[in-house]
Amino acid sequence: MSSALAAHPSPLAASLEPLLEPICRRLALQDFCLLPAEQSRPLLQAFPGALADWPAFQDSWNHLQQDKFMADGGRYRKRLHATLSAEPASRQARAEAHRPHYQSKVYNPLNGGVPRHFEPIRNDILLGPSMQAALSLGCAVFGKVSPYTPWHIEAHQFRIEARDCRPGWPTPEGVHRDGVQFLMMMMIRRHNLVNGATELFDLGKQPLASFTLTEPMDISLVNDERVLHGVTPVSQLDPSREGCRDVLLISFRRR
């Protein structure tokens, strides 16, 4: 049985509704939208209690588990995972029973084709106001673009590490689609790194955009049905210190 993600609804303040319109229009017209932190923060803060636990939310990336399903043998990725759902046009996601993450090899030729059992995101983080705000913002934007769609939602906490002068690979499968409808990628923290540019392509692999998420709460929204994405490898800026790239990825798929 699913459990409520929050005890109270989280509607966007009416004054912020006009701010959603150009975001949704851009996403509908060009199939992606970049929201710098100065634009995304007021939207996130529109939800009740939003970001009140941000320090603990950010710190939770220090407690991720090693990804044991890397077919390349890499040990540069850590992650946790959660499954949720939302009703059409709802701005509130609800947690579902934990289950494995699955992608076919069509979408993930490196690691796909098998159920991947990742440890769950901690309840205090999943149910906390920062995660709730991110989920609600995704529901608000994608629910306006596709208002009649019920959503299967997956949230992933990712850490990509660069250490011992070896790069970390945010997308080791290369430029790809995830096999969902929409993706929301939010930067949590970036430390002692160079590179890590997000690159977007149309389905013919023609370049659409390239940008680097650098500030906490920088957000990229992508129509995964129409856009391929990848992130360039990250390397240490100072070789004597480890580097890390912490990102929250939330996917929305029709159910």
Whole-model pTM: value is: 0.92
Per-residue pLDDT tens for 30-48? 999 999 999 999 999 988 8
Three-state SS letters, the chain: CCEECCCCCCCCCHHHHHHHHHHHHHHHHHCEEEECHHHHHHHHCCCCCCCCCHHHHHHHHHHCEECCCCCCCCCCEEEEEEEEEECCCCCCCEECCCCCECCCCCCCCCCCCCCECCCECCHHHHCCHHHHHHHHHHHHHHHHHCCCCCEEEEEEEEEEEEECCECECCCCCCCECCCCCEEEEEEEEEECEEECCEEEEECCCCEEEEECCCCCCCEEEEECCCEEEEECCEEECCCCCCEEEEEEEEEEEEC
Domain ranges of the chain: 32-254
In the prediction, which pLDDT does 193 show?
A: 98
In the prediction, which pLDDT does 107 show?
A: 82
Would you tell me which CATH number, out of the four given (2.40.110.20, 3.20.20.70, 2.40.50.140, 2.60.120.620), belongs to the domain 32-254? Answer: 2.60.120.620
Extract the residue ranges of the chain whose pLDDT is less than 70: 1-15
In the prediction, which pLDDT does 62 show?
A: 98
In the prediction, which pLDDT does 49 show?
A: 87
